[in-house]
Chain A
Amino acid sequence: MFFFFITSGLFLGWSLGANDAANIFGTAVGSKMIRFRTAALVAGIFVIIGATLQGSGTTTTLSQLGSVDALPGAFTVALSASVVVFLMTKALLPVSTTQAIVGAIIGWNLFTGHSTDVKILSTILATWVISPVIGAVFSACFYILLRALLKKLQIHLVVLDVYIKWALIIVGAFGAYSLGANNIANVMGVFAASAPNVVIDMGIFRLDGLQVLFLLGGVAIAVGILTYSKGLMMQVGNGIMALSAEAAIVTVFSQAVVLFVFSSTAFSEFLQGIGLPPVPLVPVSSSQVIVGSIIGIGMIKGVNEIKFKTIKGIAYGWVLTPIAAGLLSFLALFFVKNLFNLNVGTAVDVAGATADMAATAGAAASETTRHINLIWPGISLLVLVVLSSVITYSFSQQRKRLATEKELLEREKETNIARQALTDAGVRAAQTENLHLQNEIENKRRDLINYAMNIVEQKEYFGKIAGTIKAILSEKRSESRDEKLRKLELDIRQRMSFADKVEDFNIRIERMHKDFIGRLVQLNPDLSPNDIRLAVFLRLGIASKEIATLMNISPKSVEINRYRLRKKLGLDRGANLTQFINNI
């Protein structure tokens, strides 16, 4: 049952981790100076250490305000505080778990009839107001010191970046430690009176019942940081409170110092030792201290516009949150008591008697205290953690190496594909060129053969004519000579028609203008071969007279053919046929 009842506290711890880790590592993670994983791990570990080692101081103060002495009551008080925090966060109102839990405890006091120690309450209230002011003063001082130091040291920006990175981690660890130490009371303080009466021996250290409770609360905060703080960290780093890295170090450091001062019993005792008044050990809101710290830096930088709206919002939070939590706690306790018939706390005023219950929980370990020896399980756990860390690390390195190799292979593959594509394109281009050159060679070869044949043919022909003229000259009879001369004239005239040459010319022309002929036929598929030939001649810019010779027709017929072609191509009277053909 114990674990069930502390779930509300664990939930409060989870939401505290999810919200407040951004105050510590927001700028560092948002500006990508530190990876979220590193930040969350450091914050988680140090929150647990701070909560376990130094959480008792603030818990004592809360117990003095109201010692919730029954588990169902503590459950209800923590749940009421969680619900108020959740609802106010949803409504974007400034809220702090500290103020919520104080209000809820006062609600419990009112419900059970316990008196509220006004002195303690006023100390707590004063701390809420003072803590942001102290944060502002601290951050202003630290900022002046840091600036002076940096000016004096003149560190190169690149080296400074490395220092800043480490400083952010170290200061963040201190911030997380202080957060755990100071705010664990909000999470687990109400359960202090119900802490199990045990002592766990871990070999090198011992944990009493209260510390076990704090350890659980610390783990809940760490889980909150690991699971749900990333979004807010990025938001804080990039928007709402975008700070320079130096300013981030100072704000986180001053916040950590304030939280540490208000939670350290040793520091308080030290002050008393040198004759100064002790510091009240009170849980304070880390968010409000951070706001104070930022304002402190703003004042040093000479930023005139202090956001009074933000300060007003915080002041509203000081009033609204405890009242809301107190009312809800009172109502919830009423329902839990009357509906479930559970004991939510003793109805007598035993505040005086139980005030130091939490603080003395460890010391009051009597004979009834259960001693649990966890030396061997602790060592085994440690070995297990170390082993699993080593294995995880080696696996992650292996994964990284594989990923790099894979990326390299991908790149190589892409390069090969690109090279292959280039080679293919080159081969295709070379093939096309080869084909073109082959065609050209073929044409040249045919030209040469034709030329040679022509020479042979001409020689034969003229030889034949020379023989005929010789025969005519040797002819004695005039009739027979005239007859032979007429025959010779006819032969020469027939030869002049050049029919085969013209045909050869036409074939060549058509081959050269294959594309044009294709497009022309697309315009009118009914074009005759003569029409096509005429169009080709016109495209070549050959005059009508020459066309007549080439087509072996009269110039008049060429004009008629041109007219027919115009009609077939659907040209208007004013349109230019040659221009039209050239544009095809």
Chain B
Amino acid sequence: MAFFKNATSVINAIETFFNTIDEGVLVFKEGVTNYLHGNQEAFNNNIANMAKLEADADNLRRDIENKLYAHSLMPQVRGDILRLLEEMDNIIDTAKKNLFQFDVEVPNIPAEMNQDLILLTDMCVSSVSAVIPAARAYFRTPETVKDQIHRVYFYEKEADKLADAIKRKVFRQMTGLRLSEKFHLRYFTLHIETVSDTAEKVADLLSIMAIKRSI
């Protein structure tokens, strides 16, 4: 049946989109780790991979948008779904931008900061990894969305705390650094932190969307 064919193609596109976002943040984590450990070649590969995934996510989002409008699917919740996809696309956009900032600005990061920044990246990626199943759940079991997004908020809060600790460490303990270097470190800590902030935005949106579906 044509109706189900269209629906299946949209479902496949949405699933692929989520997978792309998931893969994107994992590449982001790998990229940051490679940069911190000085694996330039691997880092370059991560950058190329990230650019491709981000472009794929954009294309998928547009494809889903076109299909939803062309086949008049879900007129009541279409607006919400498109907003959700846009917000999720922002996650991979932010991750890509951050990785490119590392490549462009080549920040000087002292080795003793590596573990802290890797942990911060891990927290941010965990918040995104938690929001993706919640987004998937919205489509099948909206009543379980709320149970899933509390993990996003937890990781986001942890990332905030960690970012704060890193900034304190940079400005209070690392006296050997120049002020410009401290600023640069703070700047990159903020960059990484924004990934979890975008995940939190998606979680907020999902929470409202799930309530709307249950009404």
What is the interface of chain A, defined by CB distance below 8 A to chain B? 31-33, 151, 154-159, 161-162, 165-166, 244-245, 301
Contact partner of B4 (CB less than 8 A), chosen from A32, A151, A162, is A162
Q: Quick check: B143 and A32 within 8 Å, CB to CB? A: no
A245 vs B139: C-alpha distance when bound (angstroms): 15
Q: Quick check: A157 and B76 within 8 Å, CB to CB? A: no
Residue of B nearest to A303 (CB): B215
Q: Quick check: A161 and B140 within 8 Å, CB to CB? A: no
Given contacts A165-B3, A301-B215, contact A158 B139 (CB under 8 A): yes
Q: Is B74 an interface residue (CB 8 A)?
A: yes
B181-215 CB mask vs A (1 if < 8 Å, else 0) is 00000000000000000000000000000000101
Residues of A within 8 A of B72 (CB): 32-33
Q: Quick check: A245 and B73 within 8 Å, CB to CB? A: no
Q: Quick check: A244 and B76 within 8 Å, CB to CB? A: yes
Tell me how many residue pairs across A and B have CB atoms closer than 8 Å. 47
Residues of A within 8 A of B76 (CB): 31, 33, 244-245
Within 8 A of A (CB), among B1-58: 3-4, 7-8, 10-11, 14
Name which of B4, B138, B139, B143 has the most chain A CB atoms within 10 A of its CB: B139
Name which of A31, A33, A159 has the most chain B CB atoms within 10 A of its CB: A159
Residues of B within 8 A of A245 (CB): 76
Q: Is B179 an interface residue (CB 8 A)?
A: no
Query: B190: shortest Cβ distance to chain A, in Å?
Result: 36
- Top 3 nearest A-B pairs (CB, nearest first) are A32-B75, A157-B139, A161-B74
Q: Is B177 an interface residue (CB 8 A)?
A: no
Within 8 A of A (CB), among B115-141: 138-141
Given contacts A32-B72, A157-B74, A244-B76, contact A162 B140 (CB under 8 A): no
Q: Is B174 an interface residue (CB 8 A)?
A: no
Q: Is B165 an interface residue (CB 8 A)?
A: no
Q: Quick check: B7 and A158 within 8 Å, CB to CB? A: yes
A31 vs B140: C-alpha distance when bound (angstroms): 21
A154 vs B139: C-alpha distance when bound (angstroms): 9
Residue of B nearest to A157 (CB): B139
Q: What are 30 A-B pairs with beta-carbon distances under 8 A?
A: A31-B76, A32-B72, A33-B76, A151-B141, A151-B143, A154-B140, A155-B140, A156-B11, A156-B139, A156-B140, A157-B81, A157-B138, A157-B139, A158-B7, A158-B10, A158-B11, A158-B14, A158-B73, A158-B74, A158-B139, A159-B8, A159-B11, A161-B7, A161-B73, A162-B3, A162-B73, A165-B3, A166-B3, A244-B213, A301-B215
A165 vs B76: C-alpha distance when bound (angstroms): 12
Q: Is B77 an interface residue (CB 8 A)?
A: yes
Query: A209: shortest Cβ distance to chain B, in Å?
Result: 43
A158 vs B5: C-alpha distance when bound (angstroms): 11
Query: B204: shortest Cβ distance to chain A, in Å?
Result: 19
Residues of B within 8 A of A151 (CB): 141, 143
Residue of A nearest to B68 (CB): A158
A205 vs B134: C-alpha distance when bound (angstroms): 57
A31 vs B8: C-alpha distance when bound (angstroms): 22
Query: A548: shortest Cβ distance to chain B, in Å?
Result: 55
Residues of B within 8 A of A162 (CB): 3-4, 7, 73
Residues of B within 8 A of A154 (CB): 140-141
Name which of A151, A156, A166 has the most chain B CB atoms within 10 A of its CB: A156
B141-183 CB mask vs A (1 if < 8 Å, else 0) is 1010000000000000000000000000000000000000000
Residues of B within 8 A of A158 (CB): 7, 10-11, 14, 73-74, 139
Name which of A158, A161, A166, A245 has the most chain B CB atoms within 10 A of its CB: A158
Query: B82: shortest Cβ distance to chain A, in Å?
Result: 13
A32 vs B77: C-alpha distance when bound (angstroms): 11
Residues of B within 8 A of A244 (CB): 76, 213, 215
Query: A251: shortest Cβ distance to chain B, in Å?
Result: 15
A426 vs B11: C-alpha distance when bound (angstroms): 46
Residues of B within 8 A of A161 (CB): 7, 73-74
A127 vs B102: C-alpha distance when bound (angstroms): 76
A156 vs B8: C-alpha distance when bound (angstroms): 10
Query: A44: shortest Cβ distance to chain B, in Å?
Result: 22
Residue of B nearest to A154 (CB): B140
Query: A119: shortest Cβ distance to chain B, in Å?
Result: 45
Residues of A within 8 A of B73 (CB): 158, 161-162
Name which of A32, A151, A157, A162 has the most chain B CB atoms within 10 A of its CB: A157
Q: Quick check: A159 and B7 within 8 Å, CB to CB? A: yes
Beyond A154-B140, A157-B81, 19 additional pairs, beta carbon < 8 A: A31-B75, A32-B75, A154-B141, A155-B140, A156-B140, A157-B77, A157-B138, A158-B7, A158-B10, A158-B14, A158-B73, A159-B8, A159-B11, A161-B73, A162-B3, A162-B4, A162-B73, A244-B213, A301-B215
Residue of B nearest to A245 (CB): B76
Query: B4: shortest Cβ distance to chain A, in Å?
Result: 6
Name which of B8, B77, B140 has the most chain A CB atoms within 10 A of its CB: B140
B80-120 CB mask vs A (1 if < 8 Å, else 0) is 01000000000000000000000000000000000000000
Query: B33: shortest Cβ distance to chain A, in Å?
Result: 36
Residue of A nearest to B72 (CB): A32
Residues of A within 8 A of B74 (CB): 157-158, 161
